[in-house]
Amino acid sequence: MKENQNRAAAIGNLLTGRFLVHPKVLQHWRFILFLCVLALIMTASSHTAEQKVHQISQLRSEMKELHSQFIDTRSRLMNESMESKVLDRVEEAGLALHKSEEPPLVLQVNQGKKE
């Protein structure tokens, strides 16, 4: 019967916080506060780490989207810069340009001694 009362009293002291003002515990307040500060630092650190993981995930998805946009733009540019497309657009614009029938001239520079 006494054991049940002692257990009930111990649980009551624990729940109400009376154990914190016990003379034996008062000697260890600095250590208890140190542990509380460490717990706060650990909680803040884990929260910051979770934020960084979430940010990395968002940046990766944005990077994938931008990469696919880059590939799409590059393929459209390649398609639009084809010679046949350029000639069609010149005709549509009504410009008086025509395709040269002669190949371009190759210029060769002689590197002789300078006097």
pLDDT tens by residue, 32-74:
899 999 999 999 999 999 999 999 999 999 999 999 999 999 9
Mean pLDDT over each residue of the chain, to the nearest integer = 87
Split at pLDDT 50, 70, 90, the class of 113 is low
Residue 40, classed as helix, strand or coil, is helix
**What is the distance, to the nearest Å, from the Cα of residue 106 to the centroid of all Cα atoms in its chain?**
51
Query: For residue 94, what is the DSSP state?
Result: T
Is the full-model pTM beyond 0.75? no
Beta-carbon count within 10 A of 45 CB: 10
Give pLDDT, residue 2: 74
Domain boundaries in the chain? 12-92
For residue range 67-99, list pLDDT tens digits in order: 999 999 999 999 988 888 888 888 888 887 777
